[in-house]
Amino acid sequence: MKEIFVRLDRCLGCRSCEMACAVEHSQAKSILTAASEVPVPRRRLYVEYAEGQKIPLVCRHCEDAPCVAVCRTGAMRQDPITGIVDQDQNRCVGCYMCAMVCPYGVIGQQKESRMVVKCDRCGSREVPACVEACPVNTLIFAEEADFAEILRRDAASRLARGYSMRA
């Protein structure tokens, strides 16, 4: 199963991903009208600044997700096969329990009504909008094994570089 992985060392903080996410979750799916739509389309991932780095935070779709566990109306649900955590807008009562227990703070609130918004992994798309929008491939949509290979390759080149610098 493919996941959205983040290469933590290379985000520029440009926030193209946030913009593409909001547009993808607008009714017309167009930047031209997104800003004037009601409800205002909200981003579902967040580029945060910490310790001299930008870190994009995006829902991890946890196994046995705490947001699903605490949802008392069954609005927050996890697909047993894909593992994607999504919420049924019709059942959400806006108690924000899910937002409180999320360890990454990636469950946001819709401005206009008591309703949460979160990453749905862009169900209708082959590649999530944020991943496609990232200009430097900080966000990667891949199988875990393939992502690990990318990290190993990066680590190997870091090692090689350090070694050659010493020489």
Partner 1 sequence: MTRSLVPTVCPYCAVGCGLYIVVDDGKAVGIEYMQDHPASEGSLCPKGNAALEMLYHPDRLTHPLKRAGEMWLSISWPEALDLVAGGLSKALREGGPAGLGFIASSKCTNEESYLLQKMVRSLGCANIDSCARLCHSSSVTGLGRALGTCSTTNILSDLANSRCILAIGTNFAENHPIVARWVFRAREAGGRLIVADPRRTPTAWGGDLFLQLNPGTDVALINGMIKVILDEGLINRRFIEDRTEGFSDLESSLEGFSLSEAERITGVSASDIVGAARAYARSPASAIVYCMGVTQHANGTDNVQALANLLLICGQIGRSGAGIYPLRGQNNVQGTCDMGCLPDFYPGYLSFEDPRTQEAFRRAWGSNRLPAKKGLTSLEMMDAAAANGTIKAMYIVGEDAANTHPCSKRTAKALGRLEFLVVQDIFLTETARFADVVLPAACWAEKEGSSTSTERRIQWHEKAVEPPGDAMADLWIICNLARRLGLNFHYRSSKEVMDEICDLVPIYRGAKPSASGGVLWPCKKEGEISILHEETFPLARGRAIIRSVHFRRTAEETSSRYPFLLTIGRIGAHHNAGSMTMRSPSLLGMAPHRFVEINPKDALSLGLDDGADVVVETARGEARAKTRSTDRVMPGTLFMPFHFPGANHLVRGYRDEHSGMGELKIAACRIERC
Under the binding rule (CB under 8 A), the answer on residue 45 touching partner 1 is no
Shortest distance (Å) from residue 54 CB to partner 1: 7
Residue 165: Cβ within 10 Å count: 7
Segment near partner 1 (CB under 8 A); pick from 17-25, 60-68, 85-93, 141-149? 17-25
Under the binding rule (CB under 8 A), the answer on residue 165 touching partner 1 is yes
DSSP at 91: T
Segment near partner 1 (CB under 8 A); pick from 15-23, 73-81, 99-107, 140-148? 15-23
Under the binding rule (CB under 8 A), the answer on residue 111 touching partner 1 is no
Secondary structure class of 24 (helix, strand, coil):
helix
Number of amino acids touching partner 1 (CB under 8 A)? 34
Under the binding rule (CB under 8 A), the answer on residue 135 touching partner 1 is yes
DSSP at 41: P
- Give how far Cα 50 sits from Cα of 55, 118, 129, Å: 7, 22, 24
- Give how far Cα 1 sits from Cα of 22, 81, 84, 107, 111, Å: 24, 9, 10, 22, 33
Residues found near partner 1 in the complex (CB under 8 A): 9-10, 12-16, 19-20, 22-23, 28-32, 34-35, 52-54, 132-137, 153-154, 157, 160-161, 164-165
